Amino acid sequence: MASGLDGGAARAHAIESSLERLQSVRDGLTLQSHFSSGDPTANALVRLVPPGGGPAIEVGRTDGSGRLSFALPKGANGTWEVQVDGGPGHRDYLELPVTTGTAQLDRLSQQSSPANAPFGLTPLHGLLLLGSLGGLGGVLAAERLARRGPRT
């Protein structure tokens, strides 16, 4: 029987996720994820990002009940990021401390954005910022043309 977590749940962008240890597999973990409405986060892509922001490792997709069992990479150490991607605007980020290949679930914590995102910005924040700057540039260009008057 898998043990539950006190304070192991994390919340971000309307998704709530938790991790528990699989007793049958030493380094195995089970992720449970659902929307704040209670509906399971089905078919969500789950990634592990190593300490320092190296390339993400796709560990699979959640099943119809929002669950996915996976193992940490052999010899894993440091604080890994668990990303649950349930589609645009529906993401969860968990910080998972790992010591000599064993997840320290009592130290699991939530992040509001990925650890490797500059200034704490998610890709969605970057797109919104770019769109805003593009729109501002268009307004300024239109104003400048209006001040020049018609070309002759």
pLDDT of residue 48: 94
- Say which amino acid occupies 118: P
> Do the domain assignments include residue 2?
no
The first and second tokens of residue 149, run together, are 């008057």
Higher pLDDT pick, 109 / 46: 46
Q: Are residues 32 and 67 in the same domain?
A: yes
Parent domain of 89: 10-112
Number of structural domains (the chain) is 2
Q: Are residues 87 and 136 in the same domain?
A: no
Q: Are residues 24 and 93 in the same domain?
A: yes
Query: Which of the four pLDDT bands, split at 50, 70 and 90, describes residue 46?
Result: very high
Of the candidates 115, 108, 25, 127, the residue with the CA atom closest to the CA atom of residue 74: 25
Q: Are residues 18 and 59 in the same domain?
A: yes
Torsion sign (Cα): 122, 17, 21, 8: positive
The first and second tokens of residue 124, run together, are 């969605």
Model confidence at 54: pLDDT above 80: yes
List of residues 6+ apart from 87 with CB closer than 8 A: 44
What predicted TM-score, i.e. pTM, was given to this entire model? 0.61
Q: Are residues 16 and 67 in the same domain?
A: yes
Q: Are residues 25 and 80 in the same domain?
A: yes
